[in-house]
Chains A and B, each alone.
Chain A
Amino acid sequence: MSRKEWPLWEVFIRGQHGLNHRHVGSLHASDAEMAIHHARDVYTRRKEGVSIWVVKSNDITASSPSEKGPLFDPAESKAYRHPTFFDIPDEVGHM
């Protein structure tokens, strides 16, 4: 890789109904301001949000799964996860 890649950002969006910002996905951008612009263009194409946060993926500190216990214990919640946002709409899979 001879050239430098735009860093990766995580995008959080607050929808119209006053809920918390939620993680919606990631994107590449040269800096924070560009990341906000890109997030607007990429993740609000269907009017999904009224407020956007972006944070460099590298700056996220995640809890990490320990070597053994939790990994083998199904009751233990997973250590690092992105929330799932959308209910699967009824029409998926149908015409």
Chain B
Amino acid sequence: MYAQMVKSEGMKSRDEMTPEEQAFQDRVDRGEKIEPKEWMPEGYRKTLIRQIGQHAHSEIVGQLPEGNWITRAPTLERKAILLAKVQDEAGHGLYLYSAAETLGVSRDELTEKLHSGAMKYSSIFNYPTLTWADMGAVGWLVDGAAIMNQVPLQRTSYGPYSRAMIRICKEESFHQRQGYAIMMKMAEGTPAQKEMAQDALNRFWYPSLMMFGPSDAESVHSAQSIAWKIKINTNDELRQKFVDQTVPQAEYLGLSIPDDNLRWNEEKGGYDFSEPNWSEFFEVIKGNGPCNRERMNARVKAWDDGAWFREGLYAHAEKAAHRRAAATTAAE
């Protein structure tokens, strides 16, 4: 998902837990929210910082592939909608960084870790957006996959994270729909438009399936995160749900999912489908995807070029504060 392969802690059995840890786990089990200043296991805090940070980075890097097309949007209305959507992603990054900051890490620290490669972002944003249909595919598939993960995360145990997810889900309700609306226009459009739509689906299908991360059925890391309610569903559950939801939507568009093995399985009540190429996934995560360098260079450049601006405002605020203090002293 936006937080793929977040390293967690090994699962502790109840006997291995300290009394504090047991009490903490009881609270989580009862569905209580954990709040910033309350006691929490160090592993819980660290895992959350990694996960929320990675989620925030994904929102910010995720602005870039769609941002590509703001200046090329085909109508004034499409331009406004796309800009509003990409702007929302900046907002979502901001909410998530704020949630991470309640855990004792600053936004600048997280930003530097992103830039140095110490922290990751979702693999999906390392794929290029080549035609206007990609704006449709990204909204429909990528936001669709993201929503699938984010809706259950509204119930996550950490209060600030849960509240950020609630706000994000509320705002995102239009994102997937706008993507699907673009796909509908393209799919019912000229042959060239339809070709673009099919091509976009072909390119984004497997990368979208990868967003959920590799199968984690056996993973102890996942088990701990699920026990802490930092993770609500397994990767495989969400991937299956995504496929089941998306296939009929593709059929409605008259587009075909690029998977010869795709078929309805009556027994499990879901589709059987091909796994994405996981070695490609690991390469993309490592930095060898089609656009990793471009994405990171763009972020670093924005940050570096903006340094004088941030410092200028900071300096002005300090000067103004000194002037106010001096004026107060003089008046006394």
The A contact surface, by secondary structure, is loop
Chain A: minimal CB distance from B41 (Å) = 13
**A81 B33 Cβ-Cβ under 8 A:** yes
**A30 B176 Cβ-Cβ under 8 A:** no
**B316 A30 Cβ-Cβ under 8 A:** yes
Contact of A62 among B33, B37, B180 (CB under 8 A): B37
Considering only residues 39-95 of chain A, those with a C-beta below 8 Å from chain B are 42, 45-46, 62, 64-65, 71-72, 74, 78-82, 84-86, 88-89, 91-93, 95
**A95 B176 Cβ-Cβ under 8 A:** yes
Stretch at the interface among B62-70, B103-111, B189-197: B103-111
- Given A28-B107, A74-B27, A80-B36, A45 contacting B163 (CB threshold 8 A): no
Contacts of B147 in A (CB 8 A): 92-93
**A65 B313 Cβ-Cβ under 8 A:** no
- Given A3-B311, A71-B38, A86-B167, A42 contacting B94 (CB threshold 8 A): yes
* Total contacting residues, chain B, CB less than 8 A: 53
Contacts of A4 in B (CB 8 A): 311, 314
Q: Mark B21-36, 1 if CB is under 8 A from A, else 0.
A: 0010011001011011
**A65 B98 Cβ-Cβ under 8 A:** no
Chain B: minimal CB distance from A44 (Å) = 11
- Given A42-B94, A92-B173, A81 contacting B321 (CB threshold 8 A): no
With A and B bound together, what is the CA distance between A28 and B37 in angstroms?
Answer: 20
**B37 A91 Cβ-Cβ under 8 A:** no
The B contact surface, by secondary structure, is helix
What is the chain A residue whose CB lies nearest that of B171?
A46
Contact of B151 among A25, A78, A92 (CB under 8 A): A92
Chain A: minimal CB distance from B117 (Å) = 18
Contacts of B95 in A (CB 8 A): 25
**Which of B166, B171, B177, B320 gathers the greatest number of chain A CB atoms within 10 Å?**
B166
**B307 A3 Cβ-Cβ under 8 A:** yes
With A and B bound together, what is the CA distance between A78 and B107 in angstroms?
Answer: 26
Interface: B274 (CB within 8 A): no
**B170 A64 Cβ-Cβ under 8 A:** no
Contact of B39 among A71, A81, A84 (CB under 8 A): A71
Interface residues on chain A, size class: 35 or more
Interface: B154 (CB within 8 A): yes
**B91 A42 Cβ-Cβ under 8 A:** yes
Chain B: minimal CB distance from A85 (Å) = 7
Considering only residues 25-63 of chain B, those with a C-beta below 8 Å from chain A are 26-27, 30, 32-33, 35-39
**B38 A92 Cβ-Cβ under 8 A:** no
With A and B bound together, what is the CA distance between A61 and B198 in angstroms?
Answer: 56
What is the chain A residue whose CB lies nearest that of B148?
A93
Contacts of A5 in B (CB 8 A): 106-108
16 extra A-B contacts, CB within 8 A, seeds A1-B109, A31-B317: A1-B106, A4-B311, A5-B108, A34-B317, A64-B37, A74-B30, A78-B33, A78-B38, A79-B38, A80-B36, A85-B163, A86-B166, A88-B166, A92-B147, A93-B151, A95-B177
A residues sitting closer than 8 Å to B (CB atoms) are: 1, 3-6, 8, 25-28, 30-31, 34, 42, 45-46, 62, 64-65, 71-72, 74, 78-82, 84-86, 88-89, 91-93, 95
* Sample (6) of A-B pairs whose CB atoms are under 8 Å apart: A3-B311, A4-B311, A30-B317, A34-B313, A65-B39, A82-B163
